[in-house]
Structure 1
Amino acid sequence: MTVELLDRLENAKANRLAGEVDGRESDVFGRLGTLEVRLARNPSEVKASQAMRYRIFVEEMKARLPSEAMRLKLDFDAFDDICDHLLVLDRAIEGDPEDQIVGTYRLLRHEVALANSGFYSASEFSIEALLERHPEKRFMELGRSCVLPDYRTKRTVELLWQGNWAYSVRHNIDALFGCASFPGVQPEKHALALSFLAQNASAKDEWAVSARPELFRAMDLMPSEIVDARRAVASMPPLVKGYLRIGAMIGTGAVIDHAFNTTDVLIVLPLTSLSGRFLNYYGASGRFSS
């Protein structure tokens, strides 16, 4: 990556954090009632999203973060500084925008990852081969997704995906990937859901990707003849169900993340695989409101 391109990336980041949004490209990607999805506009909003992540990951899911993160009650790492932060806000909540954040995603574009320390998911999944098989494609990593308990509904998930889609259209992204989590560190407790994913939604051929060998945990834990599809899907976290609904595939093997107290799978989604229903609903331009 050239010095000129790196300078442009840094300038773009500075402008974004200063709230200097181009009038032709609003950072508001969609609305549903009082809910709005857009990018974080300043460091204060990023910090508020990190505080929300802390409440969910640590206080609810019992994650164990580094001591500084625990002291500050913020979920943060080096990737936060190079990612864009997608937010869902509820405008009906009184207060500043920082008080209105109810959901978030962390978005890392291919060229930004290559210019820095790579992709977060590479610590758990062997994504290098996937990238090498598609040198002409631009990837984006989705991470740190979470939603406040009272907002874990179809409407919020729809808005998060509207934001992901609109952002992908804007930046000419070809494929998405990222970790999705099941609660707890015992895959056997999710045997039905994991077996269904392994048997029915596995990424194959040019999109195949596996958990790193030293971390690999089998997902296909039950015979296919006793895996009930309806029960399996009903037992999945809402975001995993949302991924399946729009046509995502799942990598081979799960990974136990002891720090976050989760069982992780890898989502792989070529944007050409998006379901027709998704495109009809959101539109090819990425704009959406209701």
Structure 2
Amino acid sequence: MLIRRRKAAANRRRMATMLARSGALTGLRLLRHPKRARVLLARSRRRRNQQRAGGKRSRLKSLWWLALPLFRAIFPRQATALAGAPAVMRTGAPMEPLRFNAFEVRLAESEAEVEAAQRLRYRVFYDEMQARPSRQVRALGRDVDPYDAFCDHLLVIDRQKMNEDGGAAAAVVGTYRLLRRSVAVRHRGFYSAAEYDLEPLMRLPGEIVELGRSCVEAKYRSGGVMHVLWRGLMAYVQMHDINLMFGCASFHGTDPRVFDRSLSYLHHFHLAPPSLRPRALPLQFVRMDTIPRSGIDVQAAMSELPPLIKGYLRAGSFVGDGAVIDRQFNTIDVCVIVKTDLITAKYDRRYRKQASEPTGS
């Protein structure tokens, strides 16, 4: 009997110590309420076990997302189911395909078509422009990131190639990635926010869209595919009643001195008004005004601009304040802003006229 009492007292002291550490009860209250103490002790143990299990689950989850790209390459359907997301997330009403001669422009309608756009991006950005892929991106042979899951992917499809190869996914020759504000606010925000303070744009009323990952297959760059992409983009703008387009456009290379004339030209002649002017984040800010306005050879500066930036300027675009060096993609980025009501009359008339012309089957 004495031994049992001593063991019981020792057990109560042990429980008192454990509960005191957990903050549940003091030793004195334990001695007065041993049954309640045992209940609280069991509850405390369950809570600790749940926390430990949760920590293991969160670590496993983080490892799963690191391995997901490779898993998707081997088991695409199973990975999509496990990820809990549809292959192509619909962000609005479907867009009717537009046909122009040998080309069709529309939004991606399947995971295979999104992956075709990602493979095209890989060929252009990584193979041609020497961007630095992560291990997962290199293993997949596709330019992928988390934004792809909820962006719209505008595609130009070579219809002749589609008929020969038996599917649209094998015939994607141009692409744009589009992210509307109404979608971005429900997910990760805008991609460009990693380089620019977008607060001036976020204060604007109405819908805005971020343009990104624009590229065209090398052998199609002189065949009007970029114009077809712009036609599709204008249809998308009208469909979603978009007031403003913006995004990062790039110079190939990471030495700003090579592009000082073009960057200075953009700053002095196309700087956005303050109400529309994103600014490069402080730690990434690169001056664009190294040459004074009076010292710029405008024609020479224009000739040095990348074709995409020239196209934006013809559409009436502005640029933000400061450039950003993107070492992963081996580029210097500038933020381009286009108010859709400022698109030049020339472009507006041209696209409206051509959109109304018959294009054949």
Report the TM-score, using the length of structure 1 for normalisation: 0.87
Which structure shows the higher helix fraction? 2
How far off is 1:130 after superposition? 2.4
How far off is 1:286 after superposition? 6.6
Aligned to 1:192: 261
2:272 is aligned with 1:203? yes
Rate the CA distance shift 1:289–1:154 in 2: closer, same or farther, 3 A. Answer: farther
Aligned to 1:124: 195
Could you give the per-residue CA deviations for residues 95-142 of structure 1, whole angstroms, max 9, x where no partner exists? 12122111110000111100001000000010023212x1x2211000
User: Matched residues in 1 for 2:189 and 2:337: separation?
Assistant: 17
Q: 1:82 aligns with which of 139, 145, 150?
A: 150
Query: In the alignment, is the contact (CA less than 8 A) between 2:91 and 2:150 conserved in 1?
Result: no
Q: Where does 1:27-66 land on structure 2 (aligned, <5 Å)?
A: 28-31=97-100, 33-66=101-134
Rate the CA distance shift 1:34–1:16 in 2: closer, same or farther, 3 A. Answer: farther
Q: Where does 1:1-290 land on structure 2 (aligned, <5 Å)?
A: 26=96, 28-31=97-100, 33-93=101-161, 94-95=164-165, 96-132=167-203, 134=204, 136-153=205-222, 155-283=224-352
How far off is 1:34 after superposition? 1.1
How far off is 1:65 after superposition? 2.2
- One-letter identity of the residue aligned with 1:84: D
How far off is 1:14 after superposition? 5.3
User: Matched residues in 2 for 1:75 and 1:119: separation?
Assistant: 18
Rate the CA distance shift 1:144–1:262 in 2: closer, same or farther, 3 A. Answer: same
* Unaligned residue ranges in structure 2 (runs of 5+): 1-84
User: Matched residues in 1 for 2:297 and 2:106: separation?
Assistant: 37
User: Matched residues in 2 for 1:274 and 1:283: separation?
Assistant: 12
Report the TM-score, using the length of structure 2 for normalisation: 0.71
* Unaligned residue ranges in structure 1 (runs of 5+): 1-9
Rate the CA distance shift 1:262–1:288 in 2: closer, same or farther, 3 A. Answer: farther
Rate the CA distance shift 1:169–1:287 in 2: closer, same or farther, 3 A. Answer: farther
Query: In the alignment, is the contact (CA less than 8 A) between 1:30 and 1:287 conserved in 2?
Result: no
Could you give the per-residue CA deviations for residues 58-79 of structure 1, whole angstroms, max 9, x where no partner exists? 1111111221111111100110
Structure 1 residue runs of 4 or more that deviate by more than 3 Å after TM superposition: 13-17, 284-290
- One-letter identity of the residue aligned with 2:186: A
Number of corresponding residues: 271
Identity %: 39
Relative contact order (alpha carbons < 8 A, sep ≥ 6): 1 or 2 greater?
A: 1
Larger Rg: 2
